[in-house]
Amino acid sequence: YMEISRSWTRINLDNLGVLTLKATINGTSRVDGKSSTVHLNYAHEENIFDLWRSLRFGDNLQAWLEQNAMLPVRRCTDGKTCKEPK
């Protein structure tokens, strides 16, 4: 496990939707009776407007398919009469 001694996060969002996140976690990892100091630094930048659009893409595609997709028409071969499967 890890004992966290200090952590902080800075989040910035501009008017164009660019979100910048910076985080730091400091602590001590304890495994099998041994202790190690841990310094984790993380930075991420994402345009959340693009992210929201991409997350909605799947829902929009599913709705479009439900409204526009049809099962294929079954065609008879060799001039035989077709019977619907039961």
The residue type of 82 is C
Report field, pTM of the whole predicted structure over 0.75:
no
CA atoms of 29 and 39, how far apart (whole Å) = 10
pLDDT for residue 55 is more than 90? no
Q: Residues of the chain with pLDDT > 90: what percent?
A: 53
Specify whether the CB–CB gap between 28 and 38 falls below 8 A: yes
What backbone phi and psi angles, to 5 degrees, belong to 85?
A: -65, 145
Q: Where are any strands of DSSP class E within the chain?
A: 2-13, 18-31, 34-47
Report domain extents, the chain: 2-51
Residue 81 has a pLDDT of: 67
Residue 79: pLDDT band with limits 50, 70, 90: low
Q: Which helix (H) or strand (E) holds 50?
A: helix 48-68
